Amino acid sequence: MKESSTAPPGAKSQTAPPDRHPHRPLHLHGRFVLLVAAGGILGALSRYGFGMALPAPNAWPLPTLLINLSGALALGWLLEALSRSGPDAGLRRIARLGIGSGFLGAYTTYSTLALDSVRLIGAGRAMDAIWYLAASLLGGAAATILGIWLGALRHKSAQKGQKARP
């Protein structure tokens, strides 16, 4: 019995990478789970260190804001650069999972954003909480867009460099 294909006529068939369980979702592969966990440990430690090194003027959560904005920028850049450089496989997949999901997922801290907002409101500083939330959410979106733009710019620069070579 002939196996039917969903690929268009004339298209090369794609084979799964060599794996003991090629059809299992990535989150069920132990090595990928460990990769995300290792990245997460480093990201959480970095967040803690960065948060301790930055001042919080008048108890305003500047460290959390800067951590989340820098993480959004980095994640936008990383994912755009990876998506433009080829399929989600090999080192690109390792970078996406280890750095993107693991490190930057733990480095950014939206649960602390919520907690800081509640603390500001509880301290009778509702306007500070509103400004903080606006700066975090709108700034995070802007930082992500900037990161995507920088990732695209990097890709375009690399392409120009390749064309200039003899």
Domain extent for 76: 27-160
Residue 135's contacts (CB-CB under 8 Å, 6 or more residues apart) are 65
Residue 80 forms part of a structural domain: yes
109 pLDDT higher than 70: yes
Residue 137 forms part of a structural domain: yes
Alpha-carbon distance 23 to 39, whole Å?
A: 24
Residue 22 forms part of a structural domain: no
Task: Give the lowest-confidence range in 8-17, 28-37, 52-61, 137-146.
Answer: 8-17
Q: Domains in the chain: how many in total?
A: 1
Listed residue (143, 142, 148, 123) closest to 60, CA to CA: 123
Residue 17 forms part of a structural domain: no
Could you tell me the pLDDT band of residue 19, with boundaries at 50, 70 and 90? low
pLDDT for the residue 18 = 52
Instruction: Please give the structure tokens belonging to residue 9.
Output: 């006529």
Could you tell me the pLDDT band of residue 22, with boundaries at 50, 70 and 90? low
23 pLDDT higher than 70: yes
Classify burial at 163, counting beta carbons within 10 Å of its beta carbon; exposed 0-12, middle 13-18, buried 19 or more: exposed
One-character DSSP codes across 8-22: PTTPPPP-PPS-SST
Do residues 87 and 15 make contact, with C-beta atoms less than 8 angstroms apart?
no
Residue 70 forms part of a structural domain: yes
pTM over 0.75: yes
How much is the mean pLDDT over the chain? 86
Residue 67 forms part of a structural domain: yes
Alpha-carbon distance 60 to 117, whole Å?
A: 10
Residue 19 forms part of a structural domain: no
